[in-house]
């Protein structure tokens, strides 16, 4: 559960016009961050895979600021929901619901995770962009961002200094859809076992 809660901080991004001129790594990273911070709503499929081979796939909906709903398809029977202030992870097979209080303002998602890196643009063109991010100090020493031609995230690969990396892939992404805020408030089943703030337990 801790891994799932950590990863989902991830997604979210809207359209900017692109120019025909060559970009530097810093310019491309700034465009990517600007797009992420400007997203209103987004939906699609998210999948992530750890180096250990453990993976997850789910259909997601996102609404700024910080609201996320993920219904897992692999493994099935799990739902992750956040209204920006609280995060719920419910497993139907065990009937256990983890409830995590979130820090005010949220984590900033991927936009904050990629700040402070040396950015190298390794490829660019109408088909998209690939950014390599390097840092000698951060926990993720190497990050690769694969973006489409409009700077929409397609894939991110995080290589951790301790060797435990993971990748996240977005597909079938749609932005600007109408959503209601009530979708992001999870009603815990009355008979579920509730585990509060599992991330706070050392």
Residue 31 has phi, psi (to 5 degrees) of -65, -40
In CATH, what is the architecture of 2-115+163-190?
Answer: Clam (2.50)
Note down pLDDT in tens along the chain; length 202 residues. Answer: 555 555 554 443 333 334 445 889 999 999 999 888 888 999 999 999 998 899 999 999 999 988 999 999 999 999 999 999 999 999 999 999 999 998 765 556 777 789 899 999 999 988 899 999 999 999 899 999 999 988 989 999 999 888 889 999 999 999 999 999 999 999 999 999 999 988 765 4
C-alpha–C-alpha distance, residues 45 and 47, integer Å:
7
DSSP state of 162: T
C-alpha–C-alpha distance, residues 117 and 31, integer Å:
15
DSSP-derived pairing of the beta strands 41-50 and 166-175: antiparallel
Confidence at residue 109, expressed as pLDDT on a 0 to 100 scale: 72
Confidence at residue 153, expressed as pLDDT on a 0 to 100 scale: 92
């Amino acid at each position: 559960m801790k891994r799932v809660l950590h990863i989902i901080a991830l997604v979210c991004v809207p359209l900017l016009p692109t120019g025909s001129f060559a970009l530097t790594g810093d310019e491309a990273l700034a465009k990517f961050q600007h797009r992420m911070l400007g997203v209103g709503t987004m939906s699609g499929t998210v999948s992530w895979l750890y180096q250990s081979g453990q993976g997850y796939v789910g259909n997601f909906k996102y609404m700024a600021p910080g609201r996320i709903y993920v219904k897992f398809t692999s493994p099935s029977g799990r739902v992750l929901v956040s209204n920006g202030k609280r995060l719920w992870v419910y497993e139907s097979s065990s009937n256990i619901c983890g409830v995590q209080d979130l820090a005010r303002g949220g984590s900033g998602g991927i936009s904050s995770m990629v700040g402070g890196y040396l950015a190298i643009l390794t490829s660019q063109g109408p088909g998209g962009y690939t950014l390599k991010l390097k840092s000698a100090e951060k926990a993720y020493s190497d990050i690769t961002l694969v973006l489409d031609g409009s700077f929409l995230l397609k894939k991110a690969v995080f290589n951790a200094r301790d060797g435990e990396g993971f990748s996240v892939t977005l597909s079938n992404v749609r932005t600007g859809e109408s959503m209601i805020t009530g979708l992001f408030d999870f009603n815990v089943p009355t008979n579920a076992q509730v585990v509060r703030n599992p991330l706070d337990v050392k």
